[in-house]
Amino acid sequence: MNDFVFSQSKQNIMRIDILTLFPEMFNGPFSESMIKRAVEKGIAEIHIHNIRDYSTNKHKRVDDYAYGPGAGMVMTIQPVADCINKLMSERRYDAVIYTTPDGERLEQPRANHLSTLNNLIILCGHYKGVDERIREKYVTMELSIGDYVLTGGELAAMVISDSIIRLIPGVLSDETSALSDSFQNGLLSPPVYTRPAEYDGMKVPDILLCGDDKKIEEWRLEEAIKRTKERRPELLDDDQ
């Protein structure tokens, strides 16, 4: 097999196996930023599997026409099933995730939960999708990153992986940073500022320069609620 591996080969770390028709798409995103840091630290391990390598078709074909009328191709059972079976024969997986527009929309609580698991499989959807029997037999979770359709599930798999890995302790330089992200407490994040205190006539709010951490946190909460009311009111409870 010609699978790509992003790994430092340590035990007791998160392992994500991604099944895709386009493995080269992952080289850039997974070789930069937080995911690269997580791999280099031995905190996470990512294996990219080319589904075509598992096809028994002499032309390595992995799609066929759907039964019934209508346009569009469908990912076939055999190569996907063989790849998943091989992986499952080697270790136990906590979840087999399928990226699909009709899946559960990925939100922060789901990312939080997935970040506590050890071994994950992500199957990237493509064409009109995968044969339904794969979903029935193997898939334990179906995720969408939004109410729109992409050419394939590779971009969704990257988003899911990033949202999970950045939450693992040791990935971010300041582990408390993720706790103040948007959606962690059901609110959008408040405005943030850095030096200089004044630029082109625009000043940092005085409260942030007062040195009183309690007052600053109270201001941040007020601003977070205000911003959420303005931009995402559906996130707020009735009492906020």
From first to last of its 240 residues, the chain has per-residue pLDDT tens of: 445 666 554 446 899 999 999 999 999 899 888 899 899 999 999 999 999 999 999 999 999 999 999 889 999 999 999 999 999 999 999 999 999 999 999 999 999 999 999 999 999 999 999 999 999 999 999 999 999 999 999 999 999 999 999 999 888 755 545 555 555 678 998 999 999 999 999 999 999 999 999 999 999 999 999 999 999 999 996 555
Secondary structure letter of residue 182 according to DSSP = T
Helix ranges (DSSP H) in 76-212: 77-90, 108-114, 132-137, 154-165
Q: What share of the chain is helix, strand, coil (3-state, %, to 5)?
A: 35, 20, 40
Residue entry with tokens 């906590």: 94
Tokens encoding 68: 């019934």
What is the pLDDT, as a whole number, of residue 2? Answer: 45
DSSP state at residue 50:
E
Distance CA 158, CA 95 (A): 16
Q: Which residues contact residue 45 at a Cβ distance below 8 angstroms, ignoring those fewer than 6 apart?
A: 5, 6, 7, 8, 9, 10, 13, 14, 15, 16, 39
State how far the Cα of 11 lies from the Cα of 188, in Å rounded to an integer. Answer: 36
Q: Report yes or no: 97 and 142 within 8 Å, Cβ to Cβ.
A: yes
Q: So what's the pLDDT on residue 172?
A: 77
Domains and CATH numbers, the chain: 4-165 (3.40.1280.10), 182-235 (1.10.1270.20)
Q: How far is CA 232 from the centre of its chain?
A: 22
3-state secondary structure of 65: strand
DSSP-assigned beta bridge partners for residue 47: 5, 17
The Cα–Cα gap between 88 and 82 comes to 10
Q: Cα Rg for the chain, rounded, in angstroms? A: 22
- Evaluate whether 105 touches 142 at the Cβ level (below 8 Å): no
The whole-angstrom separation of Cα 120 and Cα 9 is: 16
